[in-house]
């Protein structure tokens, strides 16, 4: 059946695509055969060619196999953006294993779950993060701990004495240039913690490549309304679909130069940026963290053609006092998601550079984009139209009947990019899918509407989630962590409006009778020690009791509605 959005479909593209029935490793190997001497990765002026990239990944895969990694085993990958992340990612795939990407902002208390839940015995990380990962492992029961860790230093892949426009930001020097000592894994054998260079130089051959399209490739974790984060099972095939679709939709080629600044542990960075680029033979210019001055210089110097980002990065770059000196004329694609792009900022990009900011929509469960903007007919502050090979609808969340045009309901999605289910969670998997018109649809938990042209717009969330600068914060997870604070009797996490980040985290806390003198700053400091920085409450409100229903459940919606009402009243008062 023709959908209304097909009127705006790129005329050069089919509605559905046929993708290679191979593993993701095949994409790198093919690009290395085609473009052996071409720049694959650039990091502070140092270049790794496609030939070197595939060689290093194969050598690391051989070491992983020697350490006991076998088909389907899960390997933790805990890094900021750097060439080693790309090398390690493909090495794990070449070893017939599964990548478990971990947010490098996570602390030991959070990291325990990413070791235990996927039954991981091997981890690859950077020297600055290795102590926290070792601390997490050592705190576990002996049978749950990591057996091996491979640790790289950032300077393993770039010259620490580099100067000029491609040099690291001065604020990065302490952690980027340091050679961090290796930690100790308790109860592990000698040599359990290995230097990156030793792992690459060990001389082990990789195993025979036996995985294919229907093997698991990636186990990224996503949180939800209750409990700890859940692993999303992605086969090579679901990631392959969006890698190929990303190349076609975004007109990515071997001549594309991609600014890799959004985190590559995140599903968008993994698939839409890294895998699409490697499949295409493009060049990734890698930044470990966001810095507007470094980004501006790299876009200018390296003639960046494609920049996937979150809107706050664009806002920050435009606010740079040096913005006039940056040359953005090479860009032919700029876009992203995670938060709405303010219309005024999008309009400024259009007026200055003729660039239309391409907002999209997707989830960890959909291997990044399930909706995208057609280049010739984009709409601002819109999720776009269903992606290639994808069917998406808006239904009543209770009756599951399709909603009329313009009326809000839950967005459901079916397509080859949709994940297989949640790791070890058949209950959650069953709840996440429905059958609709004879097909299996994923319930996104996001509320939206469809206009008369078939474009999707976000209206609200069914899921309880806070979006802070594109980072998803799941209140239930933060609450579980906060309950470990001896001063806290009860805690409820809500979102609060933030002019820059979109939303920030606020904690409503009931203190124990023995800790009534605890201050807001003490709570925030404790959170800083025990959770990723984007999850930390920016404000803490102390109350005598949390509102509860007759069944004893905390009425978080009431607190959230009160917060919204207070924000609206403050905004109104400010305009008087």
Highest mean pLDDT out of 175-189, 223-237, 347-361, 418-432: 418-432
CATH number of domain containing 564: 3.30.300.30
Residue 115 and residue 145: Cα distance in Å, rounded?
7
349 sits in which H/E element = helix 343-353
Tell me whether residue 379 is in a domain. Answer: yes
Tell me whether residue 471 is in a domain. Answer: yes
* Average confidence score pLDDT of the chain: 93
Tell me whether residue 48 is in a domain. Answer: no
The pLDDT assigned to 225 comes to: 61
The pLDDT assigned to 63 comes to: 98
Q: In the listed set 461, 494, 527, which residue is the last one of a domain according to the structure?
A: 461
Residues 491 and 437 in one domain: no
Highest mean pLDDT out of 196-210, 211-225, 461-475: 196-210
Both tokens of 369, joined, read 């984009």
pLDDT at 446 over 60: yes
Tell me whether residue 229 is in a domain. Answer: no
The pLDDT assigned to 373 comes to: 95
Higher pLDDT among residues 462 and 31, named by residue: 31
Packing angle, helices 343-353 and 311-318, rounded to 10: 60
The pLDDT assigned to 550 comes to: 64
Q: Which of 134-148, 183-197, 253-267 has the lowest mean pLDDT?
A: 183-197
The pLDDT assigned to 317 comes to: 92
Residues 449 and 492 in one domain: no
3-state secondary structure of 381: coil
Q: What number of other Cβ atoms are within 10 A of residue 163's Cβ?
A: 8
Mean pLDDT in residue range 344-372: 91
**Tokens 């999707």 found at:** 456
Q: What pLDDT band is residue 216 in, cutting at 50, 70 and 90?
A: very high
pLDDT at 9 over 70: yes
Q: Percent of the chain, pLDDT > 70? A: 97
Which one, of 126, 416, 375, 372, lies nearest residue 272 by Cα? 372
Q: What pLDDT band is residue 420 in, cutting at 50, 70 and 90?
A: very high
Find all residues with CB under 8 Å of 294, minimum gap 6, and list them.
168, 169, 287
Find all residues with CB under 8 Å of 357, minimum gap 6, and list them.
311, 314, 334, 335, 341, 345, 346, 349, 350, 378, 380
3-state secondary structure of 155: helix
Residues 490 and 475 in one domain: yes
CATH number of domain containing 376: 2.30.38.10
**Tokens 């907002």 found at:** 359
Residues 444 and 538 in one domain: no
pLDDT at 551 over 70: no
Residues 455 and 486 in one domain: no
Q: Which of 215-229, 337-351, 382-396 has the lowest mean pLDDT?
A: 337-351
Q: What pLDDT band is residue 565 in, cutting at 50, 70 and 90?
A: confident
Find all residues with CB under 8 Å of 332, minimum gap 6, and list them.
251, 305, 306
Tell me the pLDDT tens digit for each residue of 529-547: 999 999 999 999 999 988 8
Tell me how far apart the terminal alpha carbons of the chain are, to the nearest angstrom. Answer: 52
Which one, of 24, 147, 161, lies nearest residue 96 by Cα? 24
Find all residues with CB under 8 Å of 412, minimum gap 6, and list them.
392, 393, 394, 395, 434, 436, 441, 442, 443, 444
Q: How far is CA 100 from CA 71, 184, 266, 304, 512, in A?
A: 14, 22, 11, 29, 37
- Strand ranges (DSSP E) for 346-428? 358-359, 361-363, 368-372, 385-386, 391-395, 409-414, 421-422
Tell me whether residue 201 is in a domain. Answer: no
Q: How far is CA 181 from CA 27, 136, 192, in A?
A: 35, 17, 14
Q: Evaluate whether 148 touches 121 at the Cβ level (below 8 Å).
A: yes
Q: In the listed set 413, 440, 461, which residue is the last one of a domain according to the structure?
A: 461
Residues 452 and 374 in one domain: yes
**Tokens 């093997």 found at:** 215
Which one, of 539, 561, 534, lies nearest residue 491 by Cα? 539
Backbone φ/ψ region at 264: left (φ over 0), alpha (ψ -120 to 50), beta = alpha
Residue 95 DSSP symbol: T
Residues 479 and 445 in one domain: no
Q: Which of 99-113, 329-343, 397-411 has the lowest mean pLDDT?
A: 329-343
Find all residues with CB under 8 Å of 224, minimum gap 6, and list them.
230, 428, 463, 474, 476
- Helix (H), strand (E), coil (C) string for 451-500: CCCCCEEEEEECCCCEEECCEEECHHHHHHHHCCCCCEEEEEEEEEEECC
560 sits in which H/E element = helix 556-575
Residue 565 and residue 267: Cα distance in Å, rounded?
34
pLDDT at 1 over 60: no
Residue 58 and residue 90: Cα distance in Å, rounded?
8
Tell me the pLDDT tens digit for each residue of 223-253: 766 678 999 999 999 999 999 999 999 999 9
Q: Percent of the chain, pLDDT > 90? A: 78
Residue 531 DSSP symbol: S
Residues 371 and 439 in one domain: yes
Residues 565 and 498 in one domain: yes
How many distinct helices (H) and strands (E) make up the chain?
17, 29
Q: In the listed set 393, 427, 461, which residue is the last one of a domain according to the structure?
A: 461
Both tokens of 444, joined, read 């996104």
Residues 473 and 571 in one domain: yes
Both tokens of 476, joined, read 């239930």
Both tokens of 348, joined, read 């400024």
Mean pLDDT in residue range 61-88: 98
Residues 457 and 470 in one domain: no
Mean pLDDT in residue range 86-94: 98
Q: Evaluate whether 475 touches 494 at the Cβ level (below 8 Å).
A: yes
Mean pLDDT in residue range 43-49: 98
Asked whether the CA dihedral 533, 284, 218, 64 is positive or negative, the reply is negative
Residue 91 and residue 158: Cα distance in Å, rounded?
20
Q: What pLDDT band is residue 3 in, cutting at 50, 70 and 90?
A: confident
Provide the domain count of the chain: 2
Residue 449 and residue 452: Cα distance in Å, rounded?
10
Tell me whether residue 4 is in a domain. Answer: no
234 sits in which H/E element = strand 230-235
pLDDT at 552 over 70: no
Both tokens of 13, joined, read 């593209």
The pLDDT assigned to 466 comes to: 87
Which one, of 111, 114, 102, lies nearest residue 266 by Cα? 102
Tell me whether residue 56 is in a domain. Answer: no
Tell me whether residue 457 is in a domain. Answer: yes
Q: Evaluate whether 99 touches 76 at the Cβ level (below 8 Å).
A: no
Residue 143 DSSP symbol: G
Q: What pLDDT band is residue 571 in, cutting at 50, 70 and 90?
A: low
Residues 448 and 483 in one domain: no
Q: Which of 135-139, 339-343, 400-404, 504-508 has the lowest mean pLDDT?
A: 339-343
pTM over the 0.75 mark: yes
| Containing structural domain, residue 557 | 466-575
């Amino acid at each position: 059946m023709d959908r209304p959005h097909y009127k705006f479909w790129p005329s050069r593209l089919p509605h559905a695509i046929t993708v290679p029935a191979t593993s993701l490793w095949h994409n790198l190997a093919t690009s290395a055969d085609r473009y052996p001497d071409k720049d694959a990765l650039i990091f502070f002026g140092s270049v790794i060619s496609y030939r070197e990239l595939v060689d290093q990944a194969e050598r690391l895969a051989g070491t992983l196999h020697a350490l006991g990694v076998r088909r389907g085993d899960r390997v933790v990958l805990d890094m900021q953006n750097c060439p080693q992340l790309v090398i390690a990612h493909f090495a794990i795939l070449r070893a017939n294993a599964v990548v478990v990407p971990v947010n490098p902002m996570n602390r030991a208390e959070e990291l325990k779950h990413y070791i235990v839940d996927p039954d991981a015995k091997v981890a690859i990380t950077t020297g600055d993060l290795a102590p926290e990962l070792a601390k997490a492992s050592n705190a576990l029961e002996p049978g749950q701990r990591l057996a091996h860790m491979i640790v790289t230093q950032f300077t393993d892949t770039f010259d620490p004495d580099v100067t000029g426009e491609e040099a690291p930001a001065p604020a990065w020097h302490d952690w980027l240039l340091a050679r961090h000592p290796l930690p100790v894994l308790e109860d592990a054998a000698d040599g359990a913690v290995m230097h990156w260079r030793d792992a690459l130089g060990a001389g082990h051959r990789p195993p025979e490549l036996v995985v294919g399209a229907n093997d698991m490739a990636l186990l990224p974790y996503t949180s939800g309304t209750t409990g700890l984060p859940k692993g999303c099972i992605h086969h090579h095939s679901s990631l392959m679909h969006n890698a190929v679709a990303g190349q076609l939709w975004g007109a990515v080629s071997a001549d594309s130069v991609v600014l890799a600044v959004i985190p590559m542990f995140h599903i968008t960075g993994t698939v839409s940026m890294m895998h699409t680029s490697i499949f295409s033979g493009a060049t990734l210019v890698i930044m470990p963290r966001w810095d507007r001055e470094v980004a501006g210089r790299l876009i200018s110097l390296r003639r960046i053609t494609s920049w996937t980002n979150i809107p706050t990065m664009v806002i920050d770059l435009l606010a740079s006092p040096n913005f006039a000196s940056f040359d953005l004329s090479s860009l032919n694609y700029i876009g992203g998601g995670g938060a709405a792009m303010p219309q005024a900022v999008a309009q400024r990009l259009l007026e200055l550079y003729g660039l239309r900011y391409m907002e999209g929509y997707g989830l960890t469960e959909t291997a990044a984009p399930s909706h995208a903007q057609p280049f010739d007919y984009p709409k601002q502050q819109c999720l776009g139209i269903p992606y290639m090979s994808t069917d998406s609808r808006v239904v009543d969340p209770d009756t599951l009947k399709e909603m009329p045009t313009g009326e809000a309901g839950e967005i459901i999605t079916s397509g080859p990019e949709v994940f297989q289910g949640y790791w070890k969670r058949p209950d959650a998997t069953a709840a996440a899918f429905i059958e609709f018109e004879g097909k299996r649809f994923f319930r996104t938990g996001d509320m939206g509407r469809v206009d008369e042209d078939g474009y999707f717009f976000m209206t609200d969330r069914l899921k309880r989630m806070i979006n802070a600068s594109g980072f998803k914060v799941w209140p239930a997870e933060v609450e579980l962590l906060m309950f470990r604070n001896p001063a806290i009797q009860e805690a409820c996490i809500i979102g609060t409006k933030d002019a820059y980040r979109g939303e920030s985290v606020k904690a409503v806390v009931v203190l124990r009778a023995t800790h009534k003198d605890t201050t807001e700053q003490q709570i925030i400091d404790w959170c800083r020690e025990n959770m990723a920085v984007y999850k930390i409450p920016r404000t803490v409100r102390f109350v005598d009791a949390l509102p509860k229903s007759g069944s004893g459940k905390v009425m978080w919606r009431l607190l959230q509605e009160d917060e919204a009402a207070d924000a609206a009243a403050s905004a109104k008062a400010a305009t008087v």
